[in-house]
Structure 1
């Protein structure tokens, strides 16, 4: 399930719906949108960070970075 959600967010980034520097919705908002647990959202964030699509900033949130390429 987390792979599908990560792919959905990655697609939003690729299409420009989420732009570099833009803050992703909160964990609670993502949980509600996708109807999954916090653990699933954590796996999503790890996958997106590994792909270089987002960067977490402690105390501030998770932000879209420029995709590698």
Structure 2
């Protein structure tokens, strides 16, 4: 029986796919940490870890006090 990916991996993959498919376009604002945590049934810390990975990959960027957005030119490779 294959093991299930860690929650943060599922979240990273889901948001990456939304960006690649165009469901989340450059400049789009992501839901808040608490909204994402509820949507994907994860903890806030797991959600933060996933978004940190997405930031490190250049797919999203945070703006203090304004939210987290898809970068204007996200790398899709």
Normalising TM by the smaller chain, what interval?
over 0.9
Under a length normalisation based on structure 2, what TM-score does the superposition of the two structures give? 0.85
Structure 2 residue 74 is matched with structure 1 residue 67? yes
Pick the aligned partner of 1:57 from 49, 63, 69: 63
- Give the match's secondary structure for 1:62: strand
- Kindly indicate whether residue 10 of structure 2 is the aligned counterpart of residue 4 of structure 1: yes
Unmatched runs of 5 consecutive residues or more in structure 1: none
Superposition deviation, residue 37 in structure 1: 0.6
The Cα offsets for residues 2-40 of structure 1, whole Å up to 9 and x where unpaired, read as: 011111100000000000000000111101101111000
TM-score, normalising length: structure 1: 0.94
Q: Distance in 2 between matches of 1:68 and 1:4?
A: 19
Greater gyration radius: 2
